[in-house]
Structure 1
Amino acid sequence: MSLLVRPSVALHAAWMEAHKEWGDGLHEDGFGLVETDDVRSLEGFRVFVDRLLVKKASLGDDGGTLRWIVEEGKVLGGIALRHESAQDAEVLGHVGYGLRPSARGRGLAAAALREMLYLARARNMDRVVLACFVDNVPSVRTIERCGGVLSRVVTTERGEVGRYTIRLS
C-alpha cells in the first residue's frame, strides 16, 4: 500500500536511493527539485526539504501541495498540486508527478493522482490541468484513467505535449 507523505529529512537515505535510480541529469517530476538543490549532503537535503515545505520556489508564491509517494519506508516518487492561483499553473499544469523506474506499472501514479484530485476539490478547484508528452503512453493512460480529456497538443523544444483537463465539479 502506498502512502502520500509530506517531504521529510528523515527520508534522506530513501530519497537518495530513488534519486540514484533516476540517474544524474534526469528530470524527476513531482519532487520539486531544481538545478541548484544540493541533495547529497544531509544539510543540503534539509535546505531542499525546508524549501518544499514553505512551498515557494517550484510551486509559486501561493504554493501548492507536494507529497512523496512512500511504501514501506521506500520513496517511490513524488506528486505536486499547484494551487489555482499558483504561478505557471496554466503553463506547467496543476499536477505533476513521477515514479522511479522500478515502481512504475503498478497503478501508483493513478492512486496518487486521485488523492491529489481529492485535495484539489477540497480547495474548491473546479478543474485541474495536466501536461504530458504525447509519447509517454503510460502517463497518458494514467491521466485518462483519472478522467483527463485531451484539450490540445503543443509543440515544444523537447517534443509534443498534450494538455489534459480533469473536471472536478
Structure 2
Amino acid sequence: MVTTEALDRLTLRPLRAADEAVALAAHAELADEDFHFLLHLDGTVFADYLATLERMRLGRGLSPTQVPETFLAAFIDDDLVGRVSIRHALSEQLLRVGGHIGYAVRPQFRRRGIATAILRQSLAVAGEMGIERALVTCDDSNVGSIATIERGGGMLDRSEEVMVQHKLRYWIPTASLGAGGP
C-alpha cells in the first residue's frame, strides 16, 4: 500500500546501471499495454542505453525531428514505480500529441496517487528548465490520466484538430506550483 508518507518519499532521478533489471521488468510490463516504459530502447546494452538518455538530455546528435528530453525514473524508496520524460521544447508532432511531459506508472502501483506525484514533480522540473506552460496529452478514453492532469491544474485545449485524433491536450502553468502545489 502506498501511503501519503510514501508519496512524500517519491523521487525522480536518472536511471543508473544498477536499475537495469527492474527497469527492463517495468518495460516488459507496459509492453503488454503497447506502451514503452523505456524510451529509445533499441536492443543495445543497458550502459549504452543510459548514454543515449544522457545524450538526448544534452540535445546532442538528435535528428531534425527530435528535441532534447530528460528521462527520469520515479522511485519510492527502492521501488521503481514509474517514469517521466520531460521534453525541453515542442516539435510540430509533440505539439499535436505527446507534449512536454509524458509519464507512466507501473500497473501494480496505479490508483494510489503516484501519477499525480510524478506530474507535480515533473512540472517543477519543467519550470526549472524555463518552460512556463507545459503541454500534457492523453487519450480521450484514459480516465485516470485525465483526472491526474486536471488535478495538476491542466486546462483543456479544445481545438478541433486534436479532438478528431481522440487525444486531449492540456496546458499546465508550471508557476502554479508554489507552496503546496496542486
Under a length normalisation based on structure 1, what TM-score does the superposition of the two structures give? 0.81
Whole-angstrom distance in 2 between the partners of 1:118 and 1:79: 13
Report SS of the residue matched to 1:14: helix
Aligned to 2:83: 78
Aligned to 1:44: 45
Aligned to 1:162: 168
The residue identity in structure 1 corresponding to 2:35 is H
The residue identity in structure 2 corresponding to 1:81 is I
Aligned to 1:133: 139
Report SS of the residue matched to 2:163: strand
1:102–1:88: structure 2 CA closer, same or farther, 3 Å change rule? same
For these two proteins, the number of residue pairs brought into alignment is 158
Report SS of the residue matched to 1:27: coil
- Structure 1 segments of 4+ aligned residues over 6 angstroms from their partners: none
Of all paired residues, the percent bearing the same amino acid is 30
CA drift at 1:84:
2.7
CA drift at 1:75:
1.8
- Aligned 1:1-169 pairs, distance under 5 A: 1-24=9-32, 26-28=34-36, 31-34=38-41, 37-38=42-43, 44-55=45-56, 62-84=67-89, 88-91=93-96, 92-152=98-158, 153-156=162-165, 160-169=166-175
1 or 2, which has the higher strand percentage? 1
1 or 2, which has the higher helix percentage? 2
Asked if the contact 1:61/1:87 (under 8 Å) is kept, the reply is: no
CA drift at 1:24:
4.9
Report SS of the residue matched to 2:164: strand
Under a length normalisation based on structure 2, what TM-score does the superposition of the two structures give? 0.76
1:137–1:12: structure 2 CA closer, same or farther, 3 Å change rule? same
CA drift at 1:99:
0.8
Report SS of the residue matched to 1:150: strand
When structure 1 is superposed on structure 2, of 46-55 and 141-150 the one drifting more is 46-55
